[in-house]
Structure 1
């Protein structure tokens, strides 16, 4: 009887031991950066590249053809320290996934050779929009697959500036009630109707007149030398354009008029002592001073998504104009991979061999 009980006790231990060995890999989705030892995955029918894709720093490729940053790998003790560095303006990391293998055929993947990202050694689908992000994962082999997702804003300030036309045709329409002028741009990426403010009162512009070939600039970008008297104050003008000033109460009495705001813009960007303020309409020096005091809060102001960007429309020989352009951002996301050799499957996933040489 004692022998039978001993045999049953030993058998129960063996059964528990077998259950531990049949680990289902769920811990691989944790974000503590520690990889679990993987079993060998049979991929004998697939062909894996192994040449020309080694190093300790690789480009991060988004959407198959755009470099958005780099990934660097350092070996620290028994771990890899892997750093995503997003350098492309307007992009940030929101997901990070890393897999480590002794040979490429041992990566977590399907039978057809596409990586199983959800089973990678490190999976974090909740990175909080970082430009720099570090992963610590156990060094269980020299081969790494580094994947992620970046998000962007398609109408960031940078993308608007990059896509501005060099020239545009426009027509002036009426003055007021909310701006010194109103203009219509007839075609191209800026086509539409806009409020407009004058930049240089030494020059004139006609109402109900069309002009062709006006130069287009972003007020936050590179401006031609000598064209504007105080270009350093465009940050304050951009700030004012974002405050919806016209029609709001002025503490000196009444409400701010488009004449108040126009005169304040001239004082910020131009030496109005040499020009004319004919046609300015109703204005109050006290209200203009109040707007100028308000503008001081705009020192260093740079418009962001959801705000207004001032775009300059400059027809040579005529009054330059600045129009408020809304930055209506549309989010996008792109898959990224560290540059390397291609997985044998049908997608564009990649892997590389760590080397500090």
Structure 2
């Protein structure tokens, strides 16, 4: 009886051990990411890299769509680490960055066809729209570096317009009041700067005068800049005026009757920017009214606080005459860029697959 009991215990223990072994195997199989990565790396040994290519460098160009330079990759040393900096040129930004560093090219994660598997790169980061990122990688990982990014256009902003403005332009007022085309002034900006052209303009200061036919040099300011004292009495309302410029009030129906005219809009601008409005208001046309102007003011105060124009909007740009005549502002369109996302690689040697992916070897190029 005792022998039977011992035999039963031995069988039971064997079953328990076997079950434990199966359980451990099951746990290993669930870690698919690790297993897949290892298989990828093992299969790489069968891929032939062209080691006759020369791509030893400490910095390289970031190319998008194979041929368009959009930024730079630089590598420096800090103790036992690489500092890898990935940046884009003006007008571009990145939504993804993938980086892998290996001792030999065959260790890069690639598939059976020799194409890199960026999802298995050591660094995989997502961004809204970054123009530069820095990464720290141990130098012990190797000298071969692959840098991949997803690059898109960076939208033009009000700040971009501000930075691009010329310091001074030559201006001529060609029409005023009812003679202008749906604005208080028609003006022409002369010269070779990108600001040159014809504009509908608005008066920024009721206390000074400017007549049709008058030409002058003007200092140029974006309305959101810190403006010199005395140009505008109430600069804190600039956001409200920019909001008005983007609402298309001209021709809209007014609750009090009729439609909004250029005169209503100009009166509202003076009401917001100046310490006193016009008295005779001689150049606002025949179909403006203080009531309609006040409706525009009220709408701006209710909806325009902290308004900042963006892609597709207009930003007010001030032209301040050097001869002390009336300062005006012109609405400048902020363009939207139409471009999709493109893959980008740090320039270097070719991966062996049917692709244009690249990697480089860190080091001084002798």
Distance 1:60 1:202 in 2: 54
Distance 2:314 2:242 in 1: 7
SS at match of 2:165: coil
On the 8 A contact 1:69/1:88 being kept in 2, the answer is no
Q: Tell me how many residue pairs correspond in the alignment.
A: 294
On the 8 A contact 1:307/1:327 being kept in 2, the answer is yes
SS at match of 2:295: helix
SS at match of 2:284: coil
> Superposition pairs for residues 19-168 of structure 1, below 5 Å?
36-38=40-42, 39-40=44-45, 41-47=48-54, 49=56, 66=71, 91-104=92-105, 106-107=107-108, 119-122=117-120, 129-131=128-130, 141-142=141-142, 143-153=144-154, 155-168=156-169
- How far residue 163 of structure 1 moved from its aligned partner, in angstroms, is 1.9
On the 8 A contact 1:90/1:156 being kept in 2, the answer is no
> Which residue number in structure 1 is paired with residue 310 of structure 2?
304
Residues 44/153 of structure 1: CA separation in 2 closer, same or farther (3 Å cut): closer
> Which residue number in structure 1 is paired with residue 17 of structure 2?
none
> Which residue number in structure 2 is paired with residue 326 of structure 1?
333
The structure whose residues are more often helix, as a share, is 2
Tell me the alpha carbon deviations over residues 174-206 of structure 1, each in whole angstroms, 9 at most, x when there is no partner: 234511111111233122211111001111101
Tell me the alpha carbon deviations over residues 1-55 of structure 1, each in whole angstroms, 9 at most, x when there is no partner: xxxxxxxxxxxxxxxxxxxxxxxxxx99xxx9999425234444345538x68xx
Residues 202/348 of structure 1: CA separation in 2 closer, same or farther (3 Å cut): farther
Q: Does 1:315 align with 2:321?
A: yes
Distance 1:279 1:330 in 2: 38
Q: 2:264 aligns with which of 246, 260, 265?
A: 260
Between 221-230 and 328-337, report the one with greater CA deviation: 328-337
On the 8 A contact 1:47/1:344 being kept in 2, the answer is yes
Residues 228/90 of structure 1: CA separation in 2 closer, same or farther (3 Å cut): farther
On the 8 A contact 1:43/1:105 being kept in 2, the answer is no
Q: Does 1:185 align with 2:157?
A: no
List alignment gaps of at least 5 residues for structure 2. 1-31, 76-83
Tell me the alpha carbon deviations over residues 319-352 of structure 1, each in whole angstroms, 9 at most, x when there is no partner: 11111122222345776557xxx63469996657
Tell me the alpha carbon deviations over residues 287-323 of structure 1, each in whole angstroms, 9 at most, x when there is no partner: 1211011112111111111111111111120111111
Q: Does 1:238 align with 2:242?
A: yes
Distance 2:74 2:267 in 1: 45
Distance 1:35 1:181 in 2: 72
- How far residue 149 of structure 1 moved from its aligned partner, in angstroms, is 3.0
TM-score, structure 1 as length reference: 0.65
Distance 2:38 2:291 in 1: 65
SS at match of 1:236: helix
Between 182-191 and 266-275, report the one with greater CA deviation: 266-275
Distance 1:214 1:98 in 2: 50
Distance 2:325 2:291 in 1: 29
From the CA coordinates, give the structure whose radius of gyration is larger.
Answer: 2
- How far residue 68 of structure 1 moved from its aligned partner, in angstroms, is 10
- How far residue 99 of structure 1 moved from its aligned partner, in angstroms, is 3.9
CA RMSD of aligned residues (A): 4.6
Q: Does 1:218 align with 2:225?
A: no
- How far residue 236 of structure 1 moved from its aligned partner, in angstroms, is 0.9
TM-score, structure 2 as length reference: 0.64
Between 215-224 and 320-329, report the one with greater CA deviation: 215-224
Distance 1:252 1:68 in 2: 61
On the 8 A contact 2:95/2:130 being kept in 1, the answer is no
Distance 2:239 2:38 in 1: 47
> Which residue number in structure 2 is paired with residue 284 of structure 1?
289
- How far residue 221 of structure 1 moved from its aligned partner, in angstroms, is 3.1
